[in-house]
Amino acid sequence: MEMIEFQEKIKKALQEYGGSEMTVRISKVRKNNGHILTGVSMYKPGSNITPTLYIDDYLKRYEEGITFGEIMKDIIYMLENYAIDRELDISFFTEWDRAKRRIVYRLINAEKNEELLKEVPYIPFMDLAIVFYYLMGDKSMGNASIMIHKKHLAVWEVEEKSLYDVAVKNTHKMLPYAIQNISQLMRDVLFENIGKQMGEKGCTDKECVEEITDRMMEQLSPIHQQVNMYVLSNNSRYYGAACILYKDLLRKFAESHDADIYILPSSVHEMILLPDRGGEDPVKLAEMVRDVNDTQLSPEEVLSDSVYYYDRKSGEIRMLQSEQKAADAAVTA
């Protein structure tokens, strides 16, 4: 079934469910890296905001044999569970003195977001771009945010410099960083998954879960247990790759490991930090990054295929691929 037919089928079903007072809208939403998703929204009387639910995965499930009734039951539950039955005071966003308190930044790929960057203020950063968001404070909205566009700057009558200055102050305070050894991260994931599975079977003995987790970690190869990689993200693990911009973070990390640092973009949500001990091959590291991007991430989660390098002496980050391309060009010439 084509998406157009599927979305109209959903729209009709929602309209029949909601009645004449409910307005159902289908929209195409441009996500990170130019990825386009199809969203459905139900506008309730008395509310000036509504969540948007993306239905692309539902089409895949429908084609795989899930009934339309089951899909609609899930869609209705999601829309009603996260609906906001009230009017939202949006003055927090229209007034600069209030809005500036919650403006933060993120890192996205510049080339993949070329069209978006025509509409939003941004700061170039190697092959990436620093873009800005208003982070919603309502916990019921999770990681909800509003992307800052050039038209917002016109309303606020502020320059990009002011936007960047407040974002620098806010981001590390509102989204503090977390660095975790990848072996510990593997253990945490195992612990969570084992605990979930045992909980489903009615067993919630934490000591038992700990014992099983430790036993599984012992069975992993010594290479995995001793790998010298660290995952850097923010406390929400959402667009945490931007943490590499935090003042003095990389300097302190490099000093604590007495080494320069390879920086591998795991996704828009996190970076992998690898202390340079002299045995790393930048070409193989780049191949690893590309493989993860191609096979493990959704299109909107990809940050870059590049590998970066933090030099303790200069205190700067550089992109290794650009140096390699320049060297290759010189050899060819």
Q: CA-CA distance, 263 to 99, in Å (whole number)? A: 32
- Planar angle of CA 108, 110, 114, nearest 5 degrees: 115
Question: What radius of gyration do the chain's Cα atoms show?
Answer: 23
* 33-42, 141-150, 160-169, 200-209: the lowest-pLDDT one: 200-209
Cβ(250)–Cβ(261) below 8 Å: yes
Residue 306 has pLDDT above 90, yes or no: yes
Q: Is the pLDDT of residue 69 over 60?
A: yes
Q: How much of the chain exceeds pLDDT 70, in percent?
A: 76
- The pLDDT of residue 15 is above 60: yes
Question: In this prediction, what percent of the chain has a pLDDT beyond 90?
Answer: 56
Q: Given a cut of 50, is residue 257 above it in pLDDT?
A: yes
pLDDT in tens, 177-230: 999 887 665 555 544 555 555 655 555 566 665 654 455 445 444 444 445 889
pLDDT tier for residue 73 given thresholds of 50, 70 and 90: very high
Lowest mean per-residue pLDDT among 150-159, 191-200, 228-237, 279-288? 191-200
pLDDT category of residue 18 using cuts at 50, 70 and 90: confident
Higher-pLDDT residue of 11 and 325 is 11
Q: What is the pLDDT of residue 218?
A: 52
Of 185, 287, 295, the C-alpha closest to 237 is 185
Tally Cβ neighbours within 10 Å of residue 119.
Answer: 12
pLDDT band (50, 70, 90) for residue 313: very high
Exposed, middle or buried, 97 (CB in 10 Å: 0-12/13-18/19+)?
exposed
Q: What is the pTM of this model?
A: 0.77
Give me 288's structure tokens. Answer: 């690893």
Q: CA–CA separation, 309 vs 262, rounded Å?
A: 5
**Encoding tokens for residue 155?**
């309303």
What is the chain's mean pLDDT, rounded?
Answer: 82
Average pLDDT value for residue range 78-106:
77
pLDDT of residue 323: 47
pLDDT band of residue 23 (cuts 50, 70, 90) is confident
Structure confidence at residue 220 (pLDDT): 46
